[in-house]
């Protein structure tokens, strides 16, 4: 009799546990994205409808700056950057049926994702293009644009010492993670010069040097080593970075391009795990002439804040590979711009004319602001600009009542160093208002899209309807810009 009672109690408990388990599965399913990936968290649009976001992905908090009265402070100083990971992360999210987290939206990276009609420099390292034109979301304001185009350098002009540092932990499993690294390396291997050196360092439960300073003659060995990689185990990111720098120093090329390229979802949990310590370590090693570039992949565990900080500290750029096309662009079509720098510690200053501009606000670059002292200081760590890259800064300005559109609105300055060192260089240009170009109109649309995704308090009359109408009127033919138009339409549907 006692045995029967126990069996009944066990059966009841088992059924209860099973029901709880099924309820948990249902709960997870209700939070899944359209592609079946558990998102866990929620964001909300202006109507209060919950929108799925990626639990586990982390970003630096962005605090948008208010408008600044020109009479209070007449200049804006900030570090330039060619990073564009924010844009491809947004593309991944929207194409998967989600809106990106607001802190993932760095509007300057959206703008700098595209190429514009800017005359390349005839002499020197940079050409400059500026303009003042209408603001699509506030008819009382104007947009002020400053664009720099870096000279193109032939890839053969510099010998490369590249160390690929690859996360092979379990979180990197999949074609959209470690698979994209394999695709990227194939493009790099095809472009290897006779004197180039490539190393491969992997990390999971331990750190391994699989290839050490291989030249073009060992291209097949490199491809074979990469093809055999499997993702499993824990993550030992900190100690792996130390090993990567050790290998880079061993194969150091004087006057060459010495660079570590990290591929990871950004999850560092063994070794130097503290982001501040990692950033300081990379910043210290950069002084020895070794640059650091970060390529992030995956979602649900993606640590954008860590990768962005490491790339900034190492005078490199941060990328997010959301698919094979982005891997091809970064490490194939634009490999020279990814690897070879034209300028290091690049920083900008825009000084506004008090008689022309009542107030102004820099759109984006929220985490890259500098003080006036930092702008003048040659030791200030700032951004890297690669071969052929274009960098744009966009301001929203409130003109004065007596504004004279025939006069300059501001002066733009750029200070930077040669990647090989030496004294700081600088260029300057006046900013006047001219006829709006198709590029100006497109840049304004990209900025407005960013404001909408950020739910910015400065969006004023911005709307997806107006944005789509203006994009349709531009008759876009560029593949990337046409794709952007499609993303705007999808994001608009997700906001409804």
Q: Domain residue spans in the chain?
A: 68-153+342-495, 155-339
Q: Could you tell me the fold of the domain covering 155-339?
A: Rossmann fold (3.40.50)
So what's the pLDDT on residue 11?
A: 44
HEC-encoded secondary structure of the chain: CHHHHHHHHHHHHHHHHHHHHHHHHHHHHHCECCCCCECEEEEECCCCCEEEEECCCECCCCCCCCCEECCCCCEEEEECCCCCHHHHHHHHHHHCCCCCCHHHCCHHHHHCCCCCCCCCCCCCCEEEEEEEEECCCCCCCEEEEEEEEECCCCHHHCCEEEEEEEECCHHHCCCCCHHHHHHHHHHHHHCCCCCCEEEEEEECCCEEEEEEEECHHHHHHHHHHHHCCCCCCCCCHHHHHHHHHHHHHHCCCCCCEEEEEEEECCCCCCCCCCHHHHHHHHHHHHCCCCEEEEEECCCCCCEHHHHHHHHHHCCCCEEECCCHHHHHHHHHHCHHHHHCEEEEEEEEEEEECCCCEEEEEEECCCCCECCHHHHHCCCCCCEEEECCCEEEEEEEEEECCCCCCCCCCEEEEEEEEECCEEEEEEEEEEECCCCCCHHHHHHHHHHHHHHHHHCCCCCCCCCHHHHHHHHHHCCCCCHHHHHHHHHHHHHHHHHC
- pLDDT at position 35 is 30
What pLDDT sits at residue 269?
54
Model confidence, pTM:
0.87
| Residue 39 and residue 52 in contact, taking contact as beta carbons nearer than 8 Å | yes
Q: What is the pLDDT of residues 340-349, one digit of tens each?
A: 999 999 999 9
Architecture of the domain spanning 68-153+342-495:
Sandwich (2.60)
- Give pLDDT, residue 19: 39
pLDDT at position 384 is 93
- pLDDT at residue 80 in the model: 96
| The predicted structure's pLDDT at residue 275 | 66
Low-confidence ranges of the chain (pLDDT < 70): 1-55, 233-238, 268-275
Q: Torsions phi, psi of 294, nearest 5?
A: -120, 135
Q: What is the pLDDT of residue 235?
A: 64
Question: How do residues 47-71 score in pLDDT, each as one tens digit?
Answer: 322 233 466 899 999 999 999 999 9
Do the domains 68-153+342-495 and 155-339 sit in the same CATH topology, yes or no? no
């Amino acid at each position: 009799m006692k045995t029967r009672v126990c069996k009944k109690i066990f059966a009841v408990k088992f059924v209860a546990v099973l029901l709880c388990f099924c309820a948990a599965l249902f709960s997870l399913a209700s939070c899944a994205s359209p592609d079946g990936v558990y998102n866990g968290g929620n964001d909300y649009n202006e109507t209060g409808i919950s929108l799925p976001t990626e639990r586990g992905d982390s970003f630096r908090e962005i605090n948008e700056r208010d408008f600044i009265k020109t009479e209070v402070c007449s200049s804006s100083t900030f570090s330039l950057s060619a990073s564009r990971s924010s844009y491809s992360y947004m593309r991944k999210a929207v194409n998967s049926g989600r809106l990106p987290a607001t802190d993932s939206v760095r509007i300057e990276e959206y703008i700098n994702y595209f190429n514009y009609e800017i005359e390349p420099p005839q002499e020197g390292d940079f050409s400059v293009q500026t303009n003042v034109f209408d603001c699509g979301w506030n008819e009382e304001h104007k947009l002020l644009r400053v664009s720099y185009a870096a000279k193109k350098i032939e890839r053969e002009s510099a010998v490369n010492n590249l160390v690929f540092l690859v996360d092979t932990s379990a979180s990197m499993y999949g074609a959209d993670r470690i698979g994209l690294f394999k695709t990227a390396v194939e493009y790099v291997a095809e472009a290897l010069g006779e004197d180039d050196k490539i190393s491969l360092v992997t990390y999971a439960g331990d750190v391994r040097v699989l290839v050490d300073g291989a030249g073009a003659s060992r291209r097949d060995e490199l491809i074979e080593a990469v093809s055999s990689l499997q993702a499993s185990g824990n993550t030992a990111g900190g100690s792996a970075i130390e090993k990567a720098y050790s290998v880079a120093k061993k194969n150091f090329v004087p006057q060459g391009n010495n660079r570590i390229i990290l591929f990871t979802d950004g999850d560092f949990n063994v070794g130097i795990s503290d982001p501040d310590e990692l950033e300081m370590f990379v910043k210290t090693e950069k002084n020895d002439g070794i640059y650091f570039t970060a390529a992030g992949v995956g979602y649900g565990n993606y640590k954008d804040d860590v990768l962005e900080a490491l790339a900034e500290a190492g005078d490199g750029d941060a990328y997010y590979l959301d698919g094979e096309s982005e891997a091809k662009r970064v490490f194939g079509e634009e490999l020279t711009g990814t690897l070879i720098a034209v300028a290091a510690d690049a920083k900008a200053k825009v000084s506004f004319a008090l008689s022309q501009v009542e107030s102004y606000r820099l759109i984006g670059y929220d985490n890259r602001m500098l003080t006036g002292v930092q702008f003048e200081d040659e030791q200030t760590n700032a951004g890297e600009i690669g071969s052929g890259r274009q960098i744009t800064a966009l301001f929203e300005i409130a003109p004065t009542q007596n504004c004279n559109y025939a006069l300059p609105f501001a002066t733009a300055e750029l200070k930077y160093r040669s990647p090989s060192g030496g004294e700081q260089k600088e260029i300057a240009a006046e900013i006047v208002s001219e006829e709006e170009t198709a590029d100006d109109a497109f840049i304004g649309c990209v900025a407005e899209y960013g404001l909408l995704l950020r739910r910015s308090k400065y969006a004023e009359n911005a709307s997806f309807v107006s944005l789509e109408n203006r994009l349709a009127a531009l008759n876009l033919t560029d593949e990337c810009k046409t794709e952007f138009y499609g993303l705007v339409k999808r994001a608009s549907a997700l906001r409804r």
